[in-house]
Amino acid sequence: MLKPAIIQIYRFYLEGFRRMTWGRTLWLIILVKLFIMFAVLKIFFFPRFLGRFDSQGEKQEYVSGELIERAITP
């Protein structure tokens, strides 16, 4: 019962993608965009700033230090 349903859904998508005309261009744009975003921008330009710390405790220490240090002390 489940298997034919999955096959039906698979065929639905397959046929849909096969019969695309202008949709192919859009998919190409989506894929290029996602590649640029995740394989270029995310990796080379947007590492997680707090990712340099190994533990949650170190992150807490760093942020609390920053928040205190940046304030103007009386």
Q: List residues near other proteins by CB under 8 A.
A: 12-13, 15-17, 19-23, 25-27, 29-30, 33-34, 36-37, 41-42, 45-51, 56, 59-60, 63-64, 66-74
Rounded-to-integer distance, Cα 8 and Cα 69, Å: 61
What does the DSSP assignment read for 3-24? HHHHHHHHHHHHHHHHT-SHHH
Q: Least Å distance between CB 39 and other proteins?
A: 13
Q: Least Å distance between CB 35 and other proteins?
A: 11
- Looking at the Cβ atoms of 1 and 21, the one nearer to other proteins is 21
Task: Provide the b/e sequence for 40-50 (b: ≥16 CB within 10 Å).
Answer: eeeeeeeeeee
- Looking at the Cβ atoms of 7 and 16, the one nearer to other proteins is 16
